[in-house]
Amino acid sequence: MSAKPLRHRLEYGAFSVVTALFFVIPEMGAVALATFLGWLAGSVLRIRRGVVDEHLVLAFPERPRRWRDRVACSSYVHLAREWMATFRLTRLDRDKILSRTNMVGFDAFLAAVEQGKGVVLMTGHLGNWEFCAAGFTARGVALDAVAKSMANSRFGASLIEARERIGMGVIDVDEAPRAVLRSLRAGRVVAMLADQNAHRGGIFVPFFGKMASTARGPALFALRTGAPMFLGIPLRDPGWKQEYTVELRPIDFQPSGSLDADVQALTEVHTAALEQAIGEAPEQYFWQHKRWKKRPEAELAES
């Protein structure tokens, strides 16, 4: 057996043990365990801590270092808690999901869904996007999510199973061009993460003052189908309990008629809207992701 499959087996074994603990202990105990694991990862093992610190300096250069350190530590704790919450979510019934998700702006969102053109729902690695999806499906919204395959296929299979248990459809990113159009034309909501580094076919737009390679697909789908676009902001409420407020903000945009220019402009608009939301709750953002990894060719030529 090669090193990578063995490592994947070991990683998944450890993951399975911890996840099983999350299921069998009471909620307060699960939150406490997740809090400890987040602290351990961020403050002791310092997994990707250099990346997080670099990103926080880039995004908030005007903030004091003590503030950025506090946000960094909190982001690890938040990530661990939401990992726990996502897998415990599969054990919650519809009534509990409804009681734990407060939707702000849902009436306007539902009116957009009822137009029958589908809805492009943008979100990011902010708050708990999985719980957000459960809030929609519990309210009878037909929702599909576009997702990348994970390097560790065992992790990926577990996550797909968790998503399907809460009634979410899953579209593999490699099948997205046709599958997303089918979903939108069927009047479904298609959720996409707006803040992943686009390795191929991306366009560069400002994100916290630095150009970031961003998928053009969401804007292209909305423009081609006429589907309205919303930004979903699923933030965890203060306290120990798994309760969330999901704010739905419409992305207003008037096309000019030039498709390429409109894709660029709409991508800039929805990215700026997400940036604003992150600035309102930076401790709930996934700073560990290498968002600015791909660089513009002009920048590489100058270096």
Query: What was the pLDDT predicted at 101?
Result: 97
Greatest CA separation found in the chain? 57
- Average pLDDT of the residues in 51-64: 98
The pLDDT, as a whole number, for residue 22 is: 80
pLDDT beyond 90 at 39: yes
Q: Please check the confidence at residue 4 and state whether its pLDDT lies above 90.
A: no
CA 110 to chain CA centroid, nearest Å = 21
Region of poorest pLDDT, from 17-21, 67-71, 241-245, 249-253: 17-21
Q: pLDDT tens, 181-209?
A: 999 999 999 999 989 999 888 999 999 99
Which tens digit of pLDDT belongs to each residue from 221-274?
999 999 999 999 999 999 888 899 999 999 999 999 999 999 999 999 999 999
The H or E element containing residue 147 is strand 143-147
Q: Which among 18, 12, 171, 8 has a CA at the least distance from the CA of 86?
A: 18
Checking if the pLDDT of 283 tops 80, the result is: yes
Q: How confident is the model at residue 104 (pLDDT cuts 50, 70, 90)?
A: very high
DSSP 8-state secondary structure symbol assigned to residue 293 = -
Pairwise CA distance, residues 230 & 254, whole Å = 14
Of the two residues 135 and 15, the one the predictor is more confident about is 135
Cα dihedral sign, 129-171-144-229: positive
Whether the full predicted model's pTM is greater than 0.75, yes or no, is yes
For β-strands 101-104 and 244-250, DSSP reports them as parallel
Query: Could you write out the DSSP letters of every residue in 271-292?
Result: HHHHHHHHHH-GGGB-TTS-TT
pLDDT of residue 138: 95
Task: Based on DSSP, count helices (H) and strands (E) in the chain, helices before strands.
Answer: 12, 9
- 218 with 192: CB under 8 angstroms? yes
Contacts of 50 (CB under 8 A, 6+ apart): none
- pLDDT computed for residue 200 by the predictor: 83
**pLDDT for residue 159:** 67
Q: How confident is the model at residue 277, as a pLDDT?
A: 98
| Cα(83)–Cα(76) distance, integer angstroms | 11
Q: Which of 7, 281, 299, 267 is nearest to 154 (CA)?
A: 7
φ, ψ dihedrals at 168, nearest 5°: -95, 135
Q: What is the mean pLDDT of the chain?
A: 91
pLDDT of residue 8: 66
| Residues in Cβ contact with 66 at an 8 Å cutoff, skipping those fewer than 6 apart | none
Q: Give 155's pLDDT tier (boundaries 50, 70, 90).
A: low
Distance of CA 216 to the CA centre of its chain: 17
